């Protein structure tokens, strides 16, 4: 059966006889956001075109946030 023929998670679970468990695997961590980043993101949200396409959302919202978090962990992770 092709993956597109499954309409729900429960149908996959039943077909392959596997179990599914949801849980939080990450804990919260305090993260200080620089004023520059906060101001820049607010400007983009207010003045920019951020939600007209998947590309715009990625370029203007997702990647900048990921990059800001990555800076703190860049010695251990690659973005």
pLDDT beneath 70, residues of the chain: 1-3
Find where tokens 């400007």 sit: 43
Structure tokens at 76: 């251990």
Please indicate, yes or no, if residue 3 is contained in any of the structural domains. no
Residue 12 CB: number of other CB atoms within 10 A? 14
* pLDDT attached to residue 9: 86
Question: Which residues have a Cβ under 8 Å from the Cβ of 56 and sit 6 or more positions away?
Answer: 49, 50
Please indicate, yes or no, if residue 4 is contained in any of the structural domains. no
* pLDDT attached to residue 3: 64
Please indicate, yes or no, if residue 58 is contained in any of the structural domains. yes
Total count of domains within the chain: 1
Q: Which domain holds residue 49?
A: 30-79
* pLDDT attached to residue 70: 92
* pLDDT attached to residue 34: 92
* pLDDT attached to residue 2: 64
């Amino acid at each position: 059966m092709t993956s597109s023929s499954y309409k729900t998670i429960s149908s996959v679970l039943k077909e392959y006889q596997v179990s599914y468990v949801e849980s939080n695997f990450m804990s919260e961590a305090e993260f200080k956001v620089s004023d520059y980043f906060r101001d820049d993101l607010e400007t983009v949200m207010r003045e920019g075109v951020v939600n007209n396409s998947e590309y715009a959302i990625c370029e203007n919202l997702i990647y900048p946030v990921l990059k800001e978090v990555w800076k703190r962990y860049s010695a251990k992770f690659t973005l």
